[in-house]
């Protein structure tokens, strides 16, 4: 078992092993902060694939009615700015609030996708939702 920056998934079967890893750190006499919170998986590949499909759908719809042509990346940045929650990221002791879909867990990503879906529906932009997608299987058909 190794310690990584995203934390350790603690459960009954690995509790002892985690204690064994932490013990040598405590013997140094230094103090550490241990935070226990419910485990949430990072956004899924299925969610990420759907997001990029939608970026393409929105870019196509917008470009159909506009002189300036936007890319999927342009739409990703635009929608992320509108709907993605900011998360703290610390680099060399300096913390900034960053909007990144990479930092979302599966629940937050579902909420983010839902907000995009509603925004598009309000503007008559049709989004594809594959029948075999995780989003579809969780009951999120069209609004």
Reported as a single tens digit per residue, the pLDDT across 20-48 is 888 888 888 888 877 777 777 788 899 99
What are the residue boundaries of the structural domains of the chain, listed by start? Answer: 1-37, 45-137
Q: What is the pLDDT of residues 90-142, one digit of tens each?
A: 999 999 999 999 999 999 999 999 999 999 999 999 999 888 877 766 665 55
Alpha carbon distances (Å) from 113 to 35, 70, 77, 128, 134: 29, 20, 14, 12, 12
Q: What is the pTM of this model?
A: 0.71
Instruction: Look up the CATH number of domain 45-137.
Output: 1.10.3790.10
């Amino acid at each position: 078992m190794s310690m990584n920056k995203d934390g350790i998934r603690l459960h009954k079967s690995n509790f002892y092993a985690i204690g064994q890893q932490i013990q040598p750190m405590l013997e140094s006499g230094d103090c550490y902060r241990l935070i226990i919170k419910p485990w949430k998986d990072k956004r899924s590949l299925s969610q990420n694939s759907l997001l990029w499909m939608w970026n393409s759908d929105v870019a196509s719809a917008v470009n159909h009615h506009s002189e300036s042509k936007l890319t999927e990346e342009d739409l990703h940045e635009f929608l992320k700015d509108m709907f993605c929650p900011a998360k703290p990221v610390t680099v060399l002791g300096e913390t900034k609030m960053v909007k990144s879909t990479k930092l979302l867990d599966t629940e937050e990503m579902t909420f983010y996708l839902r907000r995009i879906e509603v925004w598009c529906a309000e503007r008559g932009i049709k989004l594809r939702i594959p029948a075999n997608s995780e989003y579809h299987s969780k009951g999120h058909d069209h609004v």
